[in-house]
Amino acid sequence: MKTMPPLFISHGSPMTALEPREAGAFMQRLGPAVQAAFGRPRAILAISAHTLTREPVLLGAPRHEAIYDFGGFDPRLNEMRYDAPGAPDLAERVAGLLAAAGIAVHRTDAGGLDHGIWTPLRFMFPDADIPVLPLGWPPNWSPARLFALGQALAPLADEGVLIVGSGGITHNLRRVFAGGGLHPPESPATPESSAFRDWFVERGEAADWDALFAYRAQAPHAALMHPTDEHLLPFYVAAGAAGRAPALRIHESLVFGDLGMDAYAFGADAGELAAV
């Protein structure tokens, strides 16, 4: 039986849900590709850049709805739905795994899927019939500590659970809106964005996790691409669930010249998704 590869997906701005472009088209292919290669996930464990908590928290509601955690965008976004079943049983399993690793975790019956979760899932699994368990996480944890959190979750990949980290490989909205207006979505890649994303590809393929943990000191233009790093940190949780295996980029695109929409898969069977 193949191990379900954990994923990191760049979800972009909320407008991705209305203007999918290359990344949205990729996500539409990704869901069927996962099911064709690995079977239908029995549940999805979602780690989003927008579900931030002081300590790890499992949102174990029996049912979820889309949360509109943004403002100033097209009002049609507030009409989009993603009413997915929750995964209380999985919450119990995850709590046990984290406790065994010495990681304190809280559980709540509250629910809701922020746009970092429902935007990609709406493309990947449009029927909203796969149970979802959001895991809130502390944004002040280091990449190495979040990687260790992911390592505690590794058994789930052999149990049919799809682990999805959702954020952004680059995320500096000030540059996107530089000059007082939104840059055209089709703007060419800036040199800084390209250099940063290329560095991640190279270090990921080499499984150079020591460098990746120290990305703020070693990656080119790191502070420019991530003035705050909450959008990149879900990468490390998903990666940790595959151990120190290489990180394989399975999608490359960007919008507004700076906002990378790259996606990664991790683990021994990640190559099954290379042609998505």
Digit-coded pLDDT (tens) for 251-260: 999 998 889 9
Q: Alpha helices of 101-178 — where are they, by DSSP H?
A: 115-124, 143-152, 173-176
pLDDT score recorded for residue 209 = 98
Does the pLDDT of residue 180 top 60, yes or no?
no
Q: How far is CA 136 from CA 43, 133, 210, 230, 239, in A?
A: 17, 10, 25, 12, 17
Six-digit token pair at 158?
A: 């052999």
Least confident of 70-79, 222-231, 239-248: 70-79
pTM of the complete model: 0.96
Per-residue model confidence as pLDDT tens digits over 107-119: 999 999 999 999 9
Choosing among 3.40.50.300, 3.30.200.20, 3.30.70.270, 3.40.830.10, the CATH entry for 7-273 is 3.40.830.10
The answer to whether residue 1 scores a pLDDT higher than 70 is no
Cα–Cα distance, 79 to 77 (Å, whole number): 5
In the chain, what are the domain boundaries? 7-273
Phi, psi of 188 (to 5 degrees): -65, 160
Of 274, 207, 204, 191, the closest CA to residue 232 belongs to: 204
Neighbours of 186 (CB within 10 A): 10
Structure confidence by residue, pLDDT tens digits, 233-266: 999 999 999 999 999 999 999 998 889 999 999 9
Q: What confidence tier does 72 reach under pLDDT thresholds 50, 70, 90?
A: confident
Do residues 78 and 68 lie in contact, with contact meaning Cβ atoms separated by under 8 Å?
yes
